[in-house]
Each structure stands twice: as structure tokens, then as C-alpha cells.
Amino acid sequence: MSLSENFRTEKDTLGTIKVPKDAYYGAQTQRAIENFQISNKRFPRSIIRAQGLIKASAAATNMDLEILPPTIGKAIIQAAEEVVNGKWDDQFVLDVYQAGAGTSQNMNVNEVIANRATELMDPRSGVERIHPNDHVNKNQSTNDTFHAAMQIAAIEMINEKLLPILQDLYKELDRKATEFMPIVKSGRTHLHDAVPMRLGQEFSGYAETIHSLIKQLQHSADKLYEVGLGGNAIGTKGNVHPDYHAKIIEEINRRTNLPFRQPKVIFEFMQNTGAPIRVMTTLKEISVHLIKITSDLRLLASGPRTGLAEITLPSVQPGSTIMPGKVNPAILEMTHMVCCQVIGYETAVATAGTASQLEINVMMPLIAYTLLESIDIMYHAVSTLISKCISGIQGNENICKQFMESSLALVTALSPIMGYDRASQIGKEADEKNITIKQTLEQKGLLTPEIEKALEPKGLI
């Protein structure tokens, strides 16, 4: 077959262009392919699925409103549902970095569904071609549908993946908190000795931090349910049936079993990407706290002979190409890297958010990709963190006890008995002689039964 036989010629408002013969996409997608060879990054299937949901819902709504013939509408719905189910994923070929607002991506979806629906049409229908704009995109604009698809994809991923895995992380940390509650250890502030505490109390702080972040994510994600479908280009609902916007949201809700709703003021939805920005801010905060927790665990597990070694992590792989037997905290390091990436992504989304001008934010393709990628990598990182690290952590009670008994912070118990200044002097002398607080008191003849009882670590917890 010659090169020319591998292509077909299609026409759009700019003229003719050659498109691969077997492609379901058409002229506008092909132009975007040729214009934007930037990163080889493609949109995830979550947003393609959401776009298919919107196209199927739009066709069903337009049929219900009697502005789209059932023969055409049913074919569009079938083709769109195939897109939802991933049948044509290989037809979505555009680079993430493309023309603003997602127009190219919207037309990629429109063209694939139009050509597939045409293929599905009964030859006896008398319809020669289903049009990507006139039929598939009826009552729609890129500006409302791509924005809505981004939010539908995000809330589905949050509900189905991220929130459940964060709940699992909370439960596992809470379980470890209970398991480690009998182990008494030295607390640390500024990385220096502090008063005694329980290892379980330390883990309870980690658990409650995640619990609070779950609530915060649920709150910030609620704004994603506001979708301005039917707003069309700028929110004025031009060329849109007056009942369309309410009916399509009902259809989306039926298909997703989620409570999407109309924005109170649709122009706010069209002008801004506030919901994704808010969610990304929460993902950034989750990342900050996960970095704190994983960094703590790396410190607590440091050693095993020259560090703290108060906990032991599961061994998952060799840690050195030169030092035999070395095992590193690989899962914690991976989680830290993912969180750094998400923090960087949040900056990208916030910066893109500043590009909202007048009636639209043209940076929606970048925002959509970055938001969905953040949710995805955080889900996988936390899932791995639980299964390959947190669930297998063990507490080293003897080491915790040794550190706690040698801690200079035990001198805190003496303040109510002999005063702050005198207690400080005892602590300084113990440090200079490299002996314990109790040994210092014994040497000075100050170890009374009252003081000995006060120095019991559990009494300080």
C-alpha cells in the first residue's frame, strides 16, 4: 500500500488535511497532532471517560428535549458509552500541552464519537453522517464541557481511590498507635531530648493528622460537584435549550450516582478554576504532612547501630551497590519524592489559575492533567506506603527504654521540687559527667524517695 493509500482527506474551516485512513478522529484532531508535539504526555483515561459521560448525557438530554433525532442520538450514546468503557482509548492522541481551554481535546472526543456513531447508524436511516459539532457537541462548548469533565474525573478519583486509601492509612496508623502504646520512650523537640512519652502517642499524632486531612479533602472536594454544563461559551447559555442545563446534570447524576449540581452563579464557574485550585491546595497540605510523617519514621528507624533505631521498618530491597547487607527506608523515600512532586504540581496549578482572564481560564488542559496526575500518584504512593511499610513497622522497646532512661529531659520532674534553676544545674552536671540524672542525684546525696518517684518516666507522661 502506498503512503497516499494510508490516509484519507478531510476538510475543516481551514481547508483540507490528510488523516490516517483508519483513525476515528478527524481534521481538527489531526491539526492539533501536527501543531503540538511537545511532551508525549496524554490525558489519563479518567478524563476521557468523563468526556464520554458528558457526550452520552448530552445526547440523551437532547433527545429528551426533542432537538436531536433518536436515530442519531442513540448512535451517539452507544459510541460515547464505548468511549466511557475504554474501547477507543488509542484514538485519544493529543499532547497535554495544546491550544488553550481544551478545544482540541474536546474535538478529539467529538470526532471519534461522530465517526464511530456514523459507523453504527442503520443504513436505512437516511443519515449520511453524524457531525461532530452539530450533533455530538450540540448544546455544548469546550468551555463548559472540558471544565466539567475535569471536575467529574477528579471527584470520581478522589471518592473511589484517594479518600479510601487515606482512610486505610489512618486506620493502620491508629492500629500501630494502639500496638505501641505500652512502649515508653524519650520525646524530642528541636531534635534534642524532651520529656518521656509513649511510642503509641507519637503514632496517634500521625493518625489524627491523616484523619483531619481526610475531612479537609472531603470539604474542599465538594466544590467539584458544581458543574456549569449548559453554560456554553461564557455562561450566557447561548444556543442552548432553556431546559438543557438542568436536565443534563440530572442525566450525569443518574449515570455517575453522584450529586453534581448547578453553580449558584454560572459565570463564576466559567471564569475560574477555583475547585481544582482548592483541591490541589489540600493535596499540597496532605503532601506536607506525609513528608513530616515519613521523615519522622526515617529518623526513628535510623541506624541500625549508629542511629535512633527506635523502630524497625520492613526490608523491601537491598540498599547499596557497594555496602553488603545495607537496607534503606526505600518506601519512605519514594513517598517523600511523590509528595515533593505534588507540591510542585500545586504551584503549577496555582500559577495556571492566575491565567483566568475575563470569561475563561485557557490553562485548563494543564490544570486537568496536573490535578488528575497528583491524585493518581498520591493514591499509589499511599497504597504502597501502607502495605510495604506502615503495616510491618515494629517498635524496639529496649532501645526506647535506654534512650529514655539516659535522657537529660528527666530533670523536668525536679523543677516542682527544687526549682527550675537548681534542676537546670543538676541537668548540666549530668551532661558534663555523661551520667544520668538519677546517678547525679545519687552522687550529691539528693535522691530522696520523693524525687525517685518523681523521676519515674510514666509519671511524666
Active-site residue list = 190, 320
Q: Which cell goes with 206?
A: 500521625
- Per-residue three-class SS string for the chain: CCHHHHEEEEEECCEEEEEECCCCCCHHHHHHHHHCCCCCCECCHHHHHHHHHHHHHHHHHHHHCCCCCHHHHHHHHHHHHHHHCCCCHHHCCCECCCCHHHHHHHHHHHHHHHHHHHHHCCHHHCCCCCCHHHHHCCCCCHHHHHHHHHHHHHHHHHHHHHHHHHHHHHHHHHHHHHHHCCCEEEEEECCEEEEEEEHHHHHHHHHHHHHHHHHHHHHHHHHHHECCCCCCCCCCCCCCCCCHHHHHHHHHHHHHCCCCECCCCHHHHHHCCHHHHHHHHHHHHHHHHHHHHHHHHHHHCCCCCCCCCCEECCCCCCCCCCCCCCCCCHHHHHHHHHHHHHHHHHHHHHHHHCCEECCEECCHHHHHHHHHHHHHHHHHHHHHHHHHCHHHCEECHHHHHHHHHHCHHHHHHHHHHHCHHHHHHHHHHHHHHCCCHHHHHHHCCCCCHHHHHHCCHHHHC
